[in-house]
């Protein structure tokens, strides 16, 4: 539908005023996706942790933005100057940005570079919220903030440089004739796969919620406390995603403005296909559609569209979403029942696995030869290098700032324990025993 040209090595073509204005406007709408994810994180947790969850979303965004401004943006390298480049096999491999610290030179940078930095700020703010939902009801706020700082200072800048700012993954097209290089217009890798992998690390390190996996029988159901938050969050996320994918297509894939309506339609089709699929799967599986899993399916469709919405045909976007919508409810169940992974928001599946699927689909449906191999190399980098790196960093961080709240705090609820007051003071809060 919108075949993208091979990725152009720097310097990228100058952006027209119209494209600049449109991209800026889209980026100002993108935080709706962040708001949606924050509501979903809160709604899928328990009522006695709701205030801590929502405040945590804000606190994590604040810490992330500050750390990224001070340190991360320099390593991401979107403000130019110089990169750390290794020469292997006669090719340059840009592995890290070495831009100015504290965003010096931002005002004098090219308009496109300024938009790129704004996009990265929003992307890293979104990314740190994904594991926050997975650690709900037992992950301490201070540990969440410390994790956000580490992600914003080290992990996100590294991947953003590789994929968006002229790094070795983006340059695979020019250096190794692999399609247009690694393609990720909407942040499927930098935001969602990294966020999902971090969620898995957090769940492993913090452990499951108390009473989640009893000695006998299946795992205990701990449903989210407010389906309204969750489903309204999905609607907000749609608005943000439409803006996000369109802005990413212009910024990272250099798509013409005529490609933007198609990108938005593909995003919508992917989410719709995913919801229809999840609705059907849960209807067949449980006799009635499951609201929480349908919300997960909707989000998984949006996530999967992030990598390929800019250039897929509409029917391909629908297929990508439908596949995400089929595997999401099944994988959520497998992770919980078979693998003892307690992920209240399903971020590992919804963001991690659906993001990986979107990246593969981008390789399959991109018009350039060699694109699938470029996507697979990128996935190998995410799983084989970035994932162990995240685990190592969080493992060490857990020694300094323990992730898990003490048993009394967990029994009492994160609101009372960490904030001294609950989100719903006029209502009776359930104790663990009420779920048995």
Partner 1 sequence: MKYAGLLVMPAGFFLALAALALFPEPGPRAAFVLCGLAVEGMGLVVAVRGHMLPRGASRP
β-bridge mates for residue 92, sequence order: 87
The binder of partner 1 chosen from 10, 102, 315, 380 (CB under 8 A):
380
Residues 173 and 180 sit within 8 Å (Cβ to Cβ): yes
The CA distance from 76 to 98, in Å, is 8
Give every CB contact of residue 300 below 8 A, 6+ residues apart in sequence. Answer: 274, 278, 324, 325, 328, 349, 350, 353, 354
State how far the Cα of 224 lies from the Cα of 124, in Å rounded to an integer: 26
Selected from 140, 209, 225, 351, the binder of partner 1 by CB under 8 A is: 209
**295 touches partner 1 by CB under 8 A:** no
Query: Which of 214, 261 has the CB closer to partner 1?
Result: 214
Asked if residue 384 binds partner 1 (CB under 8 A), the reply is yes
Cα–Cα distance for residue pair 183/265, rounded to 1 Å = 19
Cβ proximity of 193 and 387 under 8 Å:
no
Among positions 101, 286, 385, 435, the unique one binding partner 1 when judged by CB under 8 A: 385
* Chain residues 326-355 in contact with partner 1, contact rule CB under 8 A: 339-342
Nearer to partner 1, 169 or 188 (CB): 169
Distance CA 5, CA 368 (A): 8
Contact of 403 with 206, CB cutoff 8 Å: yes
* Contacts of partner 1 in 387-426 (CB under 8 A): 387-388, 391-392, 407
Binding residues among 105-144 for partner 1 as defined by CB under 8 A: none
Rounded Cα–Cα distance for residues 270 and 319 (Å): 7
381 binds partner 1 (CB under 8 A): yes
- Give the nearer residue to partner 1 in terms of CB position, either 18 or 89: 89
Helix (H) or strand (E) holding 285: helix 260-286
Regarding 432 and contact with partner 1 (CB under 8 A), the answer is: yes
Q: Two tokens at 94?
A: 């840009």
Q: 152 to 181, contacts with partner 1 by CB under 8 A?
A: 172, 176
- In a 13 Å sphere around the CA of 225, the CA atoms on its Cβ side amount to 20
Whole-number minimum distance, CB 114 to partner 1, in Å? 32
Q: What is the DSSP string of 137-165?
A: TTB-HHHHHHHHHHIIIIIHHHHHHHHHS
Please identify which residue in 11, 17, 18, 88 interacts with partner 1, judged by CB under 8 A: 88
List the one residue from 6, 9, 111, 211 that touches partner 1 (CB under 8 A). Answer: 211
- Picking from 376, 255, 369, the residue whose alpha carbon sits closest to that of residue 2 is 255
Region from 22-30, 200-208, 221-229, 300-308 binding partner 1, contact rule CB under 8 A: 200-208
Between 255 and 335, CB nearer to partner 1: 335
The 245-274 site mask, x for binding partner 1 (CB under 8 A), equals: ------------------------------
> Cβ 389 to partner 1, closest distance in Å?
9
- Taking CB under 8 A as the criterion, the residue among 212, 225, 254, 417 binding partner 1 is 212
- Letters for 47-86 (x = contact with partner 1 by CB under 8 A, - = none) are ----------------------------------------
Is 436 an interacting residue with respect to partner 1 (CB under 8 A)? Answer: no
Q: Please report how close the Cβ of residue 288 comes to partner 1 at its closest, in angstroms.
A: 29
d(CA 313, CA 318): 9
Burial of 239 (0-12, 13-18, 19+ CB in 10 A): middle
Q: Does 10 bind partner 1 (CB under 8 A)?
A: no
Instruction: Locate 39 and state its tokens.
Output: 């509501």
Question: Distance (Å, rounded) from C-alpha 152 to C-alpha 300?
Answer: 24
C-alpha neighbours within 13 Å on the C-beta side of residue 156: 35
The footprint of partner 1 (CB under 8 A) covers: 88-89, 91, 172, 176, 204, 207-216, 339-342, 370, 373, 376-377, 379-381, 383-385, 387-388, 391-392, 407, 432
């Amino acid at each position: 539908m919108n075949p993208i040209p091979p990725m152009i090595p720097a310097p990228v073509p100058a952006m027209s005023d119209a494209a600049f204005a449109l991209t800026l406007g889209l980026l100002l709408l993108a935080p709706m996706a962040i708001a949606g994810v924050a509501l979903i994180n809160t709604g899928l947790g328990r009522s006695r942790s709701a205030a801590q969850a929502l405040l945590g979303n804000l606190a994590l965004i604040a810490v992330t933005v500050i750390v990224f401004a001070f340190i991360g943006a320099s390593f991401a390298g979107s403000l130019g100057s110089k990169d750390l480049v290794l020469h292997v096999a006669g090719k340059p491999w840009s592995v890290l940005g070495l831009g100015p610290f504290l965003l010096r030179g931002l005002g004098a940078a090219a308009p496109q570079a300024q938009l790129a930095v704004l996009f990265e700020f929003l992307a890293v703010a979104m990314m740190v919220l994904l594991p926050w939902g997975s650690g709900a009801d037992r992950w301490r706020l201070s540990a969440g903030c410390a994790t956000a700082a580490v992600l914003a200072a080290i992990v996100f800048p590294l991947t953003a440089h590789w994929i968006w700012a002229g790094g070795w993954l983006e340059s695979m097209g020019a250096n190794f004739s692999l399609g247009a290089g690694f393609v990720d217009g909407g942040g499927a890798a930098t935001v969602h796969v990294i966020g999902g992998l971090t969620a898995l690390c957090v769940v492993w390190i913090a452990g499951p919620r108390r009473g989640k996996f009893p000695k006998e029988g299946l795992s205990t159901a701990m449903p989210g406390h407010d389906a309204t938050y969750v489903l309204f969050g999905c609607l907000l996320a749609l608005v943000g995603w439409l803006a996000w994918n369109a802005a990413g297509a212009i910024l990272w894939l250099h798509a013409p403005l005529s490609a933007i309506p198609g990108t938005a339609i593909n995003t919508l089709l992917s989410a719709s296909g995913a919801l229809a699929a999840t609705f059907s799967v849960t209807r067949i599986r449980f006799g009635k559609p499951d609201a929480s899993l349908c919300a997960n399916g909707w989000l998984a469709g949006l996530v999967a569209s992030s990598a390929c919405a800019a250039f897929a045909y509409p029917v391909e976007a629908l297929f990508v979403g439908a596949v995400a919508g089929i595997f999401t409810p099944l994988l959520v169940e497998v992770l919980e029942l078979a693998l003892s992974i307690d992920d209240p928001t399903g971020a590992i599946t919804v963001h991690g696995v659906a993001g990986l699927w979107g990246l593969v689909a981008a390789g399959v449906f991109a018009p350039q030869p060699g694109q699938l191999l470029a996507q697979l190399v990128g996935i190998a980098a995410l799983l084989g290098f970035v994932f162990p790196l995240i685990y190592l960093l969080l493992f060490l961080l857990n020694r300094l700032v323990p992730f898990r709240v003490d048993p009394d705090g967990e029994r009492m609820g994160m609101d009372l324990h960490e904030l001294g007051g609950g989100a719903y003071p006029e209502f009776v809060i359930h104790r663990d025993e009420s779920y048995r």
